[in-house]
Structure 1
Amino acid sequence: MGPIPQDVLAQRRARFRAQLGEGVALVPGAKLVRRSNDVDYGFRQRSDLLYLTGFNQPNAVALLSRDRFVLFVQPREPAAETWTGRRPGVEGALRDYGADEAYPIAELTERLPLYLENVPRLYHRFGDDRDIDEIVQLALERVRSRVRAGITAPEEIVAPQSMLHEMRLLKEDGELEILREAADISREAHHAAARACREGAWEYEVEAALLHVFRARGGSGPAYPPIVGAGNNATILHYTENCSRLAAGQLVLIDAGVELHGYASDVTRTYPVGGRFEGRAREVYAAVLRAQQDALAAIDVGTSLRSIHEVAARSLVKGLLELGVLGGAPEDLFEEQAYQPFYMHTTGHFLGLDVHDVGNYSVGGKPRPLEPGMVFTVEPGLYFSVDNEQIPEELRGIGVRIEDDVVLTHNGVEILTSAIPREIDDVEAWMRA
């Protein structure tokens, strides 16, 4: 499974450029970020530039108008490439990435004013990159200074994301194929992690099992820092220390997915140390599983992530009543959001090039109706902190989340991660396999 091919990227750019009218759009890429002293973090391109160009090198900027696609890139430099790897350079930007024009990134300051002359609208989002913002400001000042020569500067500055993110929200066939492959890699990784959930093992050993599969199957690594939380650590939503030892009777919450060709998988499963769900942990797991099943059954064209969340929350209220955590009328408890101390996040988010992908969740002040091509997660959970003295003692230190990746199609709902078991008997058998 390879990255999105250049002909598809060209089609994306054509659709985007058609929306620009007489305007010009500037889409900056990412820079290297210093980790410590003279060591950088691994490079990850900004998703908007990756979506439009596939260009996966630092310090690049794309400029697009109705009739041209320009790339500003790092030039070829043999000495630097000896240390840090090959660069496509200006030549590669033209030859391999379909640019109509390409220039060294150092020439952006000089050339940008030429592209802004007599253009009514500039598409650029300020605040993402201070250096690019300064170049844009300088370019605007230079164009404005030529007013006596009959040159006009853009009168309107608009963030291009309002158009670009709407495109990214509806996934193409090629994107779905990558997401399916990412889901399969995550399936294998979760299987390896589940088998590592043994008494006495360390959370970081379980994490290592995940990371090995991610890279061995061709992924670039995790799509986000993996969460491997045993016992009370599972009640911390974004626990990433992964440094505790697994003990008998605990549940281990694993939230981890691979990144493949820029696209994220996002999967959570909760496994019992030793391979069997027992006691109250089994009851909590069953309540969360039922909530996810109810939420998945509620998905349809025209529903919203908000309505799906409400279905899950109502189901969790029922579970909390059965567990003896809440008391009262179910609908009153739902309206009062009495579940929030134990379920404090929403049930889903969009998924794609970003794990929390782009796209507006509301339109016209109302929850956005779901459409075919949208990919999102369904991830209810219950979390009972060991420090919460208001709940039964035997529930304290139990955290459960079950998360799957879903695509809405014209034919219904496809659960991309359905091959990773969720049912109690299936999970136990999987851990033994």
Structure 2
Amino acid sequence: MTTAESDTTAEAPVTNRKQPFPRGFLDTISTGWAERPESLPSARPQAPYAAARRAAVSAVFTGKRLVFEAGSLKQRSNDTDYPFRAHSAFAHLTGWGADAEPDSVLVFEPTDAGHDVTLHFRERAGRETTEFYADATVGEFWIGPRPSLAGVAADLDIATDHLAAFTASDDDVTLGQNAALDSYVSELRLVKDEYEINEMRRAVEITARGFDDIIQALPDAAKHARGERVVEGVFHRRAREDGNGEGYDTISASGPHACYLHWTRNDGAVVPGDLILVDAGAEADSLYTADITRTLPVNGKFSDVQRRVYDAVVEAADAAFAAAQPGVKFREVHEAAMAVIAERVAEWGLLPVTAQEALDADAGGHHRRYMVHGTSHHLGIDVHDCAQARREMYYDGVLEAGMVFTIEPGLYFQIDDLTVPEELRGIGVRIEDDILMTEDGPVNLSADIPRTADDVEAWIARVQG
């Protein structure tokens, strides 16, 4: 990785590894460049949807000056930063996705008629400025062309202004500092519009291709000391080639690692005879993400014990899907899955009480040892979308057409859990699908990714040829 070699003037002191630019460079760097005529783009497809969201926010917060910050670059180490991703609420209200500019600010100025909304960002610097060649963070010589005010205004169909024109006020209602605003913009995402649903489908399609890539790579992964990273790597390639990247850190958990719910170290071996649990989701350029989990037999075939656990998880997922209907409370989806989990682990003799006793809301919960997480969460521009929504709108909320959420039951028998027979220890299974609620009931957006034991075995055989 190269670094800026110089301070901005020939007379600047030499410090550490930096050297001043010679006078000849300074005298000529701003000359000899072709003109850059700009043809303004048509508004992108999400622009009218973002405008409708801004109108909804404006109608609720009348008379308030609202400020939504995109966020800034975050340091990874020394002078390197993490890839920038704008705040989800900012992206949702602007329509700016993977191409959003760091430090941008969306401002709602109150008027008698509602609000005037302006997007402030750091416009491109001309080639006559020192920023162009000397600033490795934003200079176009370093990071490539940056957007103009007019170009973004046309692209997003929104008024734009230079970042320097924005001044904060003590009366600002700012995202992250006002609970009512945080909750509202989070709840605004509970029901997806047509554009969002199409982007969710796109993310799932990319993810499906990524899982095919994973299956094809399993023999190579089994040969590598850190085969989990082989799996992670092939999915990353697909997510970057066809989308913006991953919507969250891929979980590539083989053998007993599958029992660790958020295993992202991905440094273990992939051993034939074991299961590998892969929880992965591609993020589209719009920032909408899929969230899919499949548990695969590394050698292509489930053992009898593995299949027994796997089939129980499929049964729980099917029960949750059947329970997910318009008008049903969101938490009832989880309750349906947990009823199956309790029945199966009780049947296998793992509980000190009956399944019914375990399901008692106050005195029970014994079965949760083997599935401590929830069955569902909302999904969208965040993998755990709408996280600031009020409980009565989320967990105790009612399912409506346009909601997108996961169904992801699992069973996890830790390698050192003495409450289960030895044959179960080290087996972890999760099956996760992305569900769209419609007026007629749930639709599994990821249904084309095989999920039953027989279909998974046939899938592996087909892809590996």
Normalised TM-score (structure 2): 0.80
Matched residue, 2:115: 67
Q: Report the residue type matching 1:9 in the other structure.
A: A
Q: Does the residue aligned with 1:59 lie in a helix, a strand or coil?
A: coil
Deviation of 1:12 (Å): 2.2
Which residue of structure 2 lines up, in the alignment, with residue 392 of structure 1?
421
> Alpha carbon RMSD of aligned pairs, Å?
2.1
Structure 1 counterpart of 2:6: none
Partner residue of 1:143?
none
Equivalent in the alignment of 2:4: none
Partner Cα distance (1:180, 1:331) in 2: 38
Which is higher, the Rg of structure 1 or of structure 2? 2
Question: Distance in 1 between the 2:349 and 2:216 partners?
Answer: 32
Deviation at 1:94, TM superposition (A): 3.4
Name the counterpart of 1:352: 380
- Among 257, 276, 280, the alignment partner of 2:281 is 257
Aligned residues: 393
Alignment partner, residue 293 of structure 2: 268
CA-CA distance at 1:314 after TM superposition:
1.0
C-alpha separation between the residues in 2 aligned to 1:91 and 1:3? 14
Task: Show the 5 A alignment for 1:20-169.
Answer: 20-55=61-96, 56-64=100-108, 65=110, 66-78=114-126, 79=132, 80-100=139-159, 102-109=160-167, 112-113=168-169, 122-127=172-177, 159-169=180-190
Structure-1-length-normalised TM-score: 0.86
Q: Structure 2: any 5+ residue segments left out of the alignment?
A: 1-42, 127-131, 133-138
Does the C-alpha gap of structure 1 residues 224 and 364 become closer, same or farther in structure 2, counting only changes over 3 Å? closer
Opposite residue 224 of structure 1, the aligned amino acid is Y
2:448 corresponding residue in structure 1: 419
2-side partners of 1:379 and 1:430: how far apart? 20
Deviates more, 1:301-310 or 1:392-401: 301-310
In the alignment, is the contact (CA less than 8 A) between 2:330 and 2:394 conserved in 1? no
Of residues 10, 19, 24, the one that matches 2:51 is 10
Which amino acid is the alignment partner of residue 66 of structure 2? A
CA-to-aligned-CA distance 1:57-97 (integer Å, 9 cap, x gap): 11101111423111221122140122123222433343433
Worse-matched range after superposition: 357-366 or 385-394: 357-366
Letter in 1 for 2:459: W
Contact 2:330/2:395, CA 8 A, preserved across alignment? no
**Equivalent in 242, 252, 268 of residue 244 of structure 1:** 268
Check if 1:180 corresponds to 2:201: yes
Which AA in structure 2 matches 1:73? Answer: F
Distance in 2 (CA, whole Å) between partners of 1:47 and 1:99 is 18
Q: Per-residue deviation at 1:252?
A: 0.3
Check the 8 A contact 1:316/1:339 in 2, yes or no: yes
**CA shift for structure 1 position 374:** 0.8
Which shows bigger deviation, 159-168 or 421-430?
159-168
Is the 8 Å Cα contact of residues 60 and 105 (structure 1) preserved in structure 2? yes
Fraction of identical pairs, as percent: 35
User: How far is the alpha carbon of 1:17 from its aligned partner?
Assistant: 1.7
Choose 7-16 or 241-250, whichever is displaced more: 7-16
Structure 1 unaligned blocks of 5 or more: 128-156
**Alignment partners' CA distance in 2, 1:362 and 1:241:** 32
Q: Take 1:365 and 1:211, find their aligned partners in 2: how far apart are those partners?
A: 31
Amino acid at match of 2:385: D
